[in-house]
């Protein structure tokens, strides 16, 4: 059941990026890049927590880029940025089940799924706001 939910959330994530990328709909958000997404960091932050921070930063960057693109859809730099970000989607999509498989504690798994759902909802709200 948990794996099905994780795969469903990964699919929603990828679909959201593809949908916005293809249609260029207006979004809103901000950029708060942080973390590196690899293993444990100082203060024993779990890998999944670092992943969530990095994932949300990527989503925020994407929303920000789409907002700028809605203001000037012919900007070649933004088109290049969109292309680069679309290439990164595959990596993010693949990491979600990898990270989930590494979580052994049920409470942490529940927190991870809640955070993935929260960030995915953030993306969907941005999508819906631009329609």
What is the model's pLDDT at position 45? 82
What's the predicted TM-score (pTM) here? 0.67
Distance CA 39, CA 16 (A): 27
Count CB-CB contacts under 10 A for residue 129: 14
The dihedrals phi and psi of 17, each to the nearest 5 degrees, come to -65, -45
Count CB-CB contacts under 10 A for residue 16: 19
Query: What string of pLDDT tens digits covers the 131 residues of the chain?
Result: 555 545 455 555 555 544 444 433 334 333 333 444 444 444 568 999 999 999 999 999 989 988 898 899 899 999 899 899 989 988 998 999 999 999 999 999 999 999 999 999 998 888 777 54
């Amino acid at each position: 059941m948990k794996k099905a939910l994780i795969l469903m959330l990964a699919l929603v994530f990828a679909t959201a990026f593809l949908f916005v990328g293809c249609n260029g709909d207006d979004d809103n958000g901000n950029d708060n890049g942080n973390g590196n997404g690899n293993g444990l960091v100082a203060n024993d932050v779990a890998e999944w927590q670092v992943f969530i921070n990095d994932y949300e930063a990527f989503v925020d960057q994407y929303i920000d880029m789409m907002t700028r693109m809605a203001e000037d859809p012919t900007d070649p730099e933004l088109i290049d940025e969109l292309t680069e970000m679309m290439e990164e989607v595959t990596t993010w999509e693949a990491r979600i089940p990898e990270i989930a498989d590494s979580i052994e504690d049920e409470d942490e798994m529940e927190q991870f799924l809640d955070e993935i759902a929260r960030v995915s909802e953030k993306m969907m709200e941005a999508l819906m706001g631009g329609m």
